């Protein structure tokens, strides 16, 4: 018997474009939220897929209203998807 996985994954996207994964230091755009979709694999960063990696902002002044207010402004890192 073949079973089809029909669960919809839930991803939380981050507004801050300057976040990097604490484990691999790659840019992070969001994370897979295991608590909302019930997956057995846990939570992980997107797109690097580091489990429970945590994130750190490369821009200390970033805010959702003003964006980066550093001088000079931080460039938004390119995100490589798999």
pLDDT in tens, 34-72: 777 777 767 788 888 888 888 999 888 888 898 888 888
- Using the structure block, give the residue that is written with the tokens 């484990």: 23
Q: Compute how many other C-beta atoms are within 10 angstroms of the C-beta atom of residue 34.
A: 17
Listed ranges 3-7, 8-12, 53-57, 78-82; the one with the highest mean pLDDT: 53-57
Radius of gyration of the chain (CA): 15
Q: What's the rounded Cα separation, in Å, for the pair 69 and 54?
A: 24
Split at pLDDT 50, 70, 90, the class of 22 is very high
3-class secondary structure, 14: coil
Lowest mean pLDDT among 3-17, 18-32, 66-80: 3-17
Closest CA relative to residue 15, chosen from 62, 75, 78 = 62
CA-wise closest residue to 32 among 57, 19, 17, 49:
49
Whole-angstrom distance, CA of residue 23 vs CA of residue 59:
18
pTM over 0.85: no
């Amino acid at each position: 018997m073949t079973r089809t996985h029909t669960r919809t994954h839930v991803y939380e996207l981050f507004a801050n474009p300057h976040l990097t994964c604490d484990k691999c230091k790659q840019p992070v755009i969001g994370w897979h939220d295991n608590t909302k979709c019930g997956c057995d694999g846990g939570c992980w960063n997107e797109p690097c897929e580091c489990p429970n990696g945590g994130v750190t902002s490369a821009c200390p002044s970033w805010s959702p209203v003003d964006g980066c207010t550093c001088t000079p402004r931080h460039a938004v890192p390119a995100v490589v998807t798999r």
